[in-house]
Amino acid sequence: MADDPSDAPAVHLDLVDAPGRGPGPEHDRELLGPDERARADRMPPSVREVWIRSRALLRTTVAPYLGCAAPEVRLARDGRGRPVLPDAPAVHVSLAHTAGCCAVAVSTAGPVGVDVERVRPLSLPDGLARRLLTPGELAEWDGVEAAERTRWLLRRWTWKEALLKAEGTGLRGGLHSFDLGWTPAGPWVRSARHRSRRWWVAEVPAGPLHVAAVARDRGMRTAS
């Protein structure tokens, strides 16, 4: 885990469809740039609100780091497709969204990744498990009780996707290309591809309807 608790990324999670959440879509939309608004307008209504909320949450979260108002936050992408802040390159960010929830992670100690998934029925979970899990993880999967399988698999998905986002490869990096196991301290990398001392992974409390995780690349402070 993190050598220093202060190194842990800050994670902000918002339940978009929670009653009394606060400012609505129109307020969030005002925080977006023209290109983002145009992109949102092309989206189906089923995904538009949470997408807009995720971008607004990112801006309100990072504005204090930049010392500016949320609408003034400039966003870009790095060579690996990760969101970056051109005006604060030492502040690393990641965002994710799913039905009813979005999450933003911020780190000043290294690249960060966050993922969130809604707990939902999965079609052909065994087939998904074979695409997601390594042989060692599949052995764990075989021992999971039927009632716990959906949440177990989605939790493992978030651990892995958060790490791949921090790495900068995203899903093309291959969810089944490395192991993540569970210890009393939380998720732990246990493969040769991702050396355990380099990667910090933790679950994020997300309530009964969602699962979430955050990961940070500690390569800037720990030899890889």
The predicted model gives 6-23 an average pLDDT of: 71
In the structure encoding, which two tokens stand for residue 136, read together? Answer: 């060692």
In the structure encoding, which two tokens stand for residue 98, read together? Answer: 């799913």
Ranges 70-79, 104-113, 175-184: which has the least confidence: 175-184
Q: Residue 178: what pLDDT?
A: 86
Per-chain mean pLDDT for the chain: 86
In the predicted structure, residue 67 carries a pLDDT above the cut 90:
yes
pLDDT digits (tens, 9 = 90+) for 28-39: 999 998 999 999
Residue 159 near residue 187 (C-beta atoms within 8 A): yes
In the structure encoding, which two tokens stand for residue 58, read together? Answer: 């990112």
Provide the percentage of residues in the chain whose pLDDT is more than 70.
Answer: 88
What are the residue ranges of helices labelled H in 115-203?
A: 125-132, 135-142, 149-167
Q: Residue 219: what pLDDT?
A: 73
In the predicted structure, residue 224 carries a pLDDT above the cut 50:
no
The predicted model gives 155-168 an average pLDDT of: 92
The predicted model gives 76-104 an average pLDDT of: 92
In the structure encoding, which two tokens stand for residue 66, read together? Answer: 């930049």
Cα–Cα distance for residue pair 196/116, rounded to 1 Å: 22
Provide the percentage of residues in the chain whose pLDDT is more than 90.
Answer: 60
In the predicted structure, residue 181 carries a pLDDT above the cut 70:
yes
What are the residue ranges of helices labelled H in 67-148?
A: 125-132, 135-142
Cα–Cα distance for residue pair 62/74, rounded to 1 Å: 10
Residue 168 near residue 83 (C-beta atoms within 8 A): no
How many CA atoms are closer than 13 Å to the CA of 56, on its beta-carbon side? 21
- The residue type found at 21 is R
Q: Tell me which H or E stretch contains 117.
A: strand 112-118
Q: Which tops the pLDDT comparison, 26 or 17?
A: 26
- Spatial CB neighbours of 159, under 8 Å, sequence gap ≥ 6: 180, 187, 201, 203, 213, 215
